[in-house]
Amino acid sequence: MKLNKSSLPKESMFFSQREFKFIDAFSTTFADENCEIDIQKIGKLFFSTGPKWIDSLFALRNKIVKFFGLKVSNSISERGIQLKNFKCQENDQIGLFKVFLSNENEVVLGENDKHLDFRVSLFLKNIEGKNNKELTISTLVRFNNLFGKLYFIPVKPFHSFIVPSMLKSIVQNLQKEV
């Protein structure tokens, strides 16, 4: 599977957002022979298939940032209950990730906090003439103050490993189901 550093898709609901100062995206293509894969399936896999080391990083992050009064996610067991009811609809929430926008091709997740606001776009596109799809995961960050910029300095290098790992994990799980 080939992962590509890409850009925010032009069809994304967030393409024209200029207030976000950090934007990156990764994409890959995969087969969908029976045309059964939709954005809701992708959204659920985003929260259920990531490598375990990502959960450990988030747990460490939560322990550190709670002392600064930042929002933290709930426990892994609570996340499982939330995931069961997750429909990728506006205002659904899993941990720190609230659904801000959703349509048949995209779900935009994220959170607003005092230091920064972030969005994660999961964008699913049909590739014309083939039973293939392209999945793009884009991240957008708006800094609300100097602390947000300082917070993101150590986060940014991890981010460039986390997002491709999550993308790869989603597609590998899709391929197992076929």
Report the pLDDT value the prediction gives residue 75, as an integer from 0 to 100.
Answer: 58
Q: Which residue has the higher pLDDT, 160 or 130?
A: 160
For residue range 107-155, list pLDDT tens digits in order: 999 999 999 999 999 999 998 767 899 999 999 999 999 999 998 998 8
- E strand map for 32-131: 93-94, 97-102, 106-112, 116-127
Ramachandran sector of residue 8 (left: φ over 0; alpha: ψ -120 to 50; beta: rest): beta
Starting at the earlier edge strand, list the strands of the sheet with 106-112: 4-6, 22-31, 132-143, 116-127, 106-112, 97-102, 93-94
For residue range 23-39, list pLDDT tens digits in order: 999 999 999 988 889 99
pLDDT at 53 over 70: no
Place of tokens 């990156």: 24
Report the pLDDT value the prediction gives residue 110, as an integer from 0 to 100.
Answer: 93
